[in-house]
């Protein structure tokens, strides 16, 4: 181990001592006896158990989504026998599922054998985007069946997630919108929806600004921004066939005068000038460092003085959202075979390397969905 500074050495000694104390059975027994400390200890024990049981919880949620149980409970109260008949389960199996969901607030039994949506269930039943994410995560669960095997693999080896995104990438510019592309379309709409809500809650565009969304797909993010800000001009930059479709969708909604289409490749083609704000929405974390820096450098070349870049995506090291950043997206992007989760400070360093003068963090109400970093030309 490299020589540690006195401050770093103190931190290491503190963590080692704390861990030794917490692991001591006598300390745990003492905590259980003191009322105030006991509440803290129980909370920590609950967190530890959630780590152990988390996969089971996610599979219970998946069962509610994929079986259609949310829809059944929405029309409740319903008895467990009705649930069993509708889902093709035994009576005991339906009760097991309903009670498991009750513990997670997905379901509730306000009267004897009268089942309805619980608090969390009511929220999720109304959020089709969240349900699309739950259905998609079945691929991640397969890849994580043996996490050490996944981590030992070369990142270029195929996984369930990498095969999906490779296929989705081939469809990115496809004209057909059939059943084959349904999951990809739902997933993209859901991810844009989550991030757009955070941008709308945290950031106001300059009056009569011109916004260019780089890698904007079929315009889901621009649609949300255009609806919220009447004077906003909407520019879309993506692959030629994607931009063509997205521009048509946007023009039908907002009129051709408010929309500009810019076909191109953000690795190779300079983004057009004349925009006040350029946005990257859940783009950078999908790419490795070299590729992400290339995107940032390319955008910086197209920005005029006074313009800025808006980066919006889940980030690491955000208080209250640590699990989403480094745990979920850390493993998700590893399984995907490309990109990595980064902190706002890491993006700030990359932005300076790309030629940006300064950066600014913008707090969001739900950083678990997205954080925002502004980079100024």
Q: How far apart are CA 335 and CA 139, in angstroms?
A: 10
DSSP letter for each residue of 79-141: -HHHHHHHHT--HHHHHHHHHHHHHTTSEEEEETTEEEE-HHHHHHHH-HHHHHHHHHHHHHH
Portions of the chain given CATH number 1.10.10.10: 26-125
Q: How far apart are CA 334 and CA 340, in angstroms?
A: 7
From the list 129, 126, 125, 95, the residue with the least C-alpha distance to 112 is 95
Q: Is 306 left (phi over 0), alpha (psi -120 to 50) or beta?
A: left
Contacts of 98 (CB under 8 A, 6+ apart): 80, 83, 107, 109, 115
Which CATH superfamily hosts domain 189-376?
Answer: Vaccinia Virus protein VP39 (3.40.50.150)
The reported pTM is 0.83
Token code pair at residue 21: 């104390």
Does the domain formed by 26-125 have CATH 2.40.30.30?
Answer: no
For residue 18, what pLDDT is reported?
Answer: 67
Token code pair at residue 372: 């925002």
Numbers of helices and strands, H then E, in the chain: 17, 9
pLDDT tens digit at each of 377 positions of the chain: 456 566 667 776 776 776 676 666 665 555 556 565 556 556 666 677 788 889 999 999 999 999 999 999 999 899 999 999 999 999 999 999 999 999 999 999 999 999 999 999 999 999 888 898 999 999 999 999 999 999 999 998 999 999 988 866 655 555 444 444 566 666 776 778 889 999 999 999 988 999 999 999 889 999 999 999 999 999 999 999 889 999 999 999 999 999 999 999 999 888 899 999 999 999 999 999 999 999 999 999 999 999 999 999 999 999 988 998 899 999 999 999 999 999 999 999 999 999 999 999 999 999 999 999 999 99
Cβ count within 10 A of residue 302: 20
Portions of the chain given CATH number 3.40.50.150: 189-376
């Amino acid at each position: 181990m490299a020589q540690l500074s006195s401050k770093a050495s103190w931190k290491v000694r503190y963590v080692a001592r704390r861990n030794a104390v917490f692991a001591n059975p006598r300390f745990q027994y003492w905590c259980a006896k003191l009322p105030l400390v006991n509440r803290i200890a129980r909370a920590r024990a609950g967190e530890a158990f959630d780590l152990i049981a988390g996969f089971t919880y996610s599979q219970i949620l998946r069962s509610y989504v994929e079986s259609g149980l949310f829809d059944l409970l929405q029309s409740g109260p319903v008895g467990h026998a009705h649930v069993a008949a509708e889902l093709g389960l035994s009576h005991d199996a339906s009760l097991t599922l309903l009670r498991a969901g009750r513990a997670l607030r997905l379901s509730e039994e306000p009267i004897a054998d009268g089942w309805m949506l619980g608090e969390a269930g009511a929220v999720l039943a109304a959020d089709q985007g969240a349900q699309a994410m739950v259905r998609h995560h079945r691929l991640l669960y397969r890849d994580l069946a043996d996490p050490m095997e996944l981590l030992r693999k070369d990142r270029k080896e195929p996984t369930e997630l990498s095969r999906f995104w490779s296929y989705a990438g081939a469809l990115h510019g496809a004209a057909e919108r059939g059943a084959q592309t349904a999951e990809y379309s739902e997933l993209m709409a859901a991810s844009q929806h989550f991030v757009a809500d955070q941008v709308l809650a945290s950031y106001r565009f300059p009056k009569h600004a011109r916004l260019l969304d780089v890698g904007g797909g079929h315009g889901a993010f621009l649609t949300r921004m255009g609806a919220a800000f009447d004077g906003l001009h909407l520019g879309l930059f993506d692959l030629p066939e994607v931009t063509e479709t997205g521009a048509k969708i946007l023009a039908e909604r907002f009129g051709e005068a408010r929309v500009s289409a810019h076909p191109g490749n953000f690795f190779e083609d300079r983004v057009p000038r004349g925009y006040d704000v350029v946005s990257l929405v859940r783009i950078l974390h999908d790419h490795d460092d070299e590729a992400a820096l290339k995107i940032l450098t390319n955008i910086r070349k197209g920005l005029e003085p006074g313009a800025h870049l808006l980066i919006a995506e889940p980030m690491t090291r955000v208080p209250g959202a640590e699990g989403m950043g480094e745990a979920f997206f850390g493993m998700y992007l590893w399984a995907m075979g490309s990109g990595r989760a980064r902190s706002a400070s890491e993006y700030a360093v990359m932005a300076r390397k790309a030629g940006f003068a300064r950066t600014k963090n913008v707090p969001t109400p739900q950083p678990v969905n997205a954080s925002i970093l502004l980079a100024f030309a």
